[in-house]
Amino acid sequence: MSTQLSKQVLQHLIAKRVAKELVGPYTVNLGIGIPTLVAEYLEDDQVYLHTENGLLGVMNIEEDRIDPNLVNAGKQPVGEAIGASFFNSADSFAMIRGGHVDVAILGALQVDESGIIANWAVPGKNIMGVGGAMDLLVGAKKVIVTMNHTSKDGQSKILKECTYPITSTRSVDMLVTELAVFKVKQKQLKLMELMPGATIEEVREKTEANFIE
């Protein structure tokens, strides 16, 4: 399945599946990468998007209406929904650390079999910035991870134990790849469903970590 569809199509497949989990009223923080695509598939107008650089009420913006001064934490242009509010970064992180973000959707480099993630550093490579993932993992009520199931060289990114520096000791609640949807229950990965076109044999083959079916 994964060899037949483009990377972009697979990313949108993941984002569309995650959007089904968002039934408001929710305040939701979208991380950089695949998580930003989730905004395109939201159907509940009581899902309010938050960005840690200081905006609640983020929405997509048409190219001809872009304001270069209005961006999300990933420096991507965004729009402001009716009723949106602006605040400084300190207040934004107070919201996160104070437990006022219902769902955080993050990308990851690796996930281990207990739901611990690594998403901020690759050993031997320059670190561009840690970002807000550490705070979101501690403060958000629910954390969903989106990522490709394997690396560019075909190695599993769902491991028995992360080999990159971990982001937090908190386990995430849910993991969605182009092959499968997992939930983390009692520090174990549980396979909840297969993504369109995927087979259980393919998931087993490409998952190093142990998981419950």
Within a 10 A sphere around the Cβ of 31, how many other Cβ atoms?
27
Question: For residue 145, what are the contacts with CB-CB under 8 A and spacing of at least 6?
Answer: 105, 106, 107, 108, 111, 117, 172, 174, 175, 176
A 10 A CB-CB count for 157 gives 22
Return the amino acid letter for 20.
K
- Distance from C-alpha of 135 to C-alpha of 178, rounded to nearest angstrom: 26
> Which residues fall within 8 angstroms of residue 18, CB to CB, at 6 or more apart?
35, 38, 41, 105, 144, 146, 176
* R_g (Cα) of the chain, nearest Å: 17
Please indicate whether residue 52 is annotated as part of the active site. yes
Which candidate in 52, 62, 63, 201 is catalytic?
A: 52
Peptide bond into 25 cis (omega under 30): yes
Active site residues: 52
